[in-house]
Amino acid sequence: MLVGHFTEQPWQDPKLEVGGIGNITSTSNKYYDPEIGAQLYNRYIDEKMYAEEVGFEALMMNEHHNTPFCMQSVTNVDLTILARQTRTAKLIMLGNILPAWDDPLWLAEHLAMVDMISGGRLVSGIVRGGGTESLAHNANTTYNRERFNEAHDFIIKTWTTPGPFRWEGKHYQFRYVNPWCLPLQKPHPQIWVPGVSSPETIKWCAEHRYPYVMLATQLEPTKEMFDLYHQHSAELGYKSGTQNLGYLFKVHVEETEELADEVGRKFLGGVYNPFIQQGNEAAIPAHLFLPPGYTSRASVQRMLKLNTDQVTGRTSLLGGSYEDNVRKYSIISGTPKQVMPKVRHVLEYLRPGTAFLWDGDGSMSHEDQIRSLRLHGQEVIPAIKEMAKELDLKGSFDTKDGTGISAEVWAKVKQQQTAKA
């Protein structure tokens, strides 16, 4: 099993009160203070580097636009910095929003450079993005899936087919494709896809045998989506397993139960947090979250099911009290001894080969995150690794030498990394 760390890297500003500044798409950047932004960007990079130091095997990053709940609008900048500043952790990009890119060749070149600089540690995650992402970049949502599919096919061909060649597609046209910049991993870095509810995307991942990572969804519907992956793979003639599945869930640890409860509640705090209701205004208006043509009726129905509380019957795309989240295993917070039985329940029930622990979010301070990361490294990660052995949870890198590159090249890379350290 691969154990990774994640945070949304939210905007934090003590001068602003919680809520009252609009929803995800209408919050004006007049509230943005570049001096605070500079501090936060460096803080989050420091925390990711410390996460590797304490024992996290992967660092997950994501991309969002025009929103204060995630500062990573150009997340490949962080990815590039971490490629040079870290030594062993997989760099998991979950992911670049393909339909928003008008130049996928530039993206293919950038990711190839990251893979080489990191010594072959890149996982190139790709996403269709939310409706708000397409609107932010003037991408027609009706063609979202078409652009996603074509950009994916183009990037893979760019990485694996000697140039020069010509590409004449429906949405992308290139007269001369011949980048002198190719990934170290062969035939290319692993491709992972994150999501929450789309049966069409699940089927697409099964067809390509790409790992699918569910993002903090409730346990029962998550299990249904994982079962759907296994069903599709069987129909395609192969047996999928834990190596095809990943799960992201919120886990925070502290030395005492009292402090864990206090800090755990900060998951739902902050100047602007999409996981709570902002007054009477929805965090993300439906017509912006799921614009016309963006997704199918089946996906909408499944999304509603994913976000319906099985106890209260309430449906909320992003919401619920702290107590509701704890009951649903959406937030796990406590001492290491308290959280491990809950973590085990998640792993036993869902059987993912990759587990991302989501921490340091909402209104949590740098000190909150560092304390938790230290305890994760000392107690939580070793316990998860033992559980994974017992439960036979193998990740996508467990089926070979841990990389997509040859043993000879990998030996040279490890030698260089050791010398650098």
With residue 96 as reference, give the H or E element that holds it.
strand 90-97
The CA distance from 20 to 273, in Å, is 11
Q: Which two tokens stand for residue 300?
A: 């909408």
Q: Which ranges of 137-246 does DSSP label H, i.e. alpha helix?
A: 144-160, 199-208, 219-235
- The yes-or-no verdict on residue 405 having pLDDT over 60 is no
The span from the CA of 242 to the CA of 228, in Å, is: 13
Lowest mean pLDDT among 259-273, 349-363, 377-391: 259-273
Of residues 32 and 305, which shows the higher confidence score? 32
Among the listed residues 190, 250, 200, the one whose alpha carbon sits nearest the alpha carbon of residue 225: 200
Predicted confidence at residue 235, as pLDDT, reads 97
Measure the CA–CA gap between 355 and 111, rounded to whole angstroms. Answer: 23
In the chain, where the domains are located = 2-420
User: Rounded to the nearest 5°, which phi and psi values hold at 77?
Assistant: -65, -50
The CATH code that applies to domain 2-420 is 3.20.20.30
Round to the nearest angstrom and report the end-to-end CA distance of the chain. 25
The predicted structure's pLDDT at residue 67:
78
Q: Does residue 236 have a pLDDT over 80? A: yes
Name the pLDDT band for 30 (thresholds 50, 70, 90): confident
CA distance 108 to 165: 15
Q: What is residue 201's predicted lDDT score, i.e. its pLDDT?
A: 93
Strand-pair partners of 93: 61, 124
pLDDT number for residue 406: 45
pLDDT tens for residues 93-125? Answer: 999 999 988 999 999 999 999 999 999 999 999
Backbone phi, psi, residue 331, to 5°? -130, 130
Helix, strand, coil in percent for the chain, rounding step 5: 45, 15, 40
DSSP state, residue 8: -
Q: Are 112 and 183 in contact (CB under 8 A)?
A: yes
Q: E strands of 331-388, at which residues?
A: 331-334, 354-358
Q: What angle do CA 349, 353, 355 make, to 5 degrees?
A: 80
Residue with tokens 């709570």: 276
Per-residue pLDDT, 65: 78
SS3 249: strand
List pLDDT tens digits, range 120-131.
999 999 998 866
Q: What is the mean pLDDT of residues 213-236?
A: 95
Beta strand pairing status for 245-253 and 331-334? Answer: parallel
What average pLDDT does the segment 181-207 reach?
A: 94
The pTM score is 0.88
Distance CA 48, CA 293 (A): 37
Residue 40: Cβ within 10 Å count: 18
d(CA 93, CA 127): 10
What is the Cα–Cα distance from 237 to 203, expressed in whole angstroms? 13
Percent above pLDDT 90 for the chain: 67
d(CA 206, CA 236): 8
Sign, CA dihedral 97-103-108-110, equals: negative
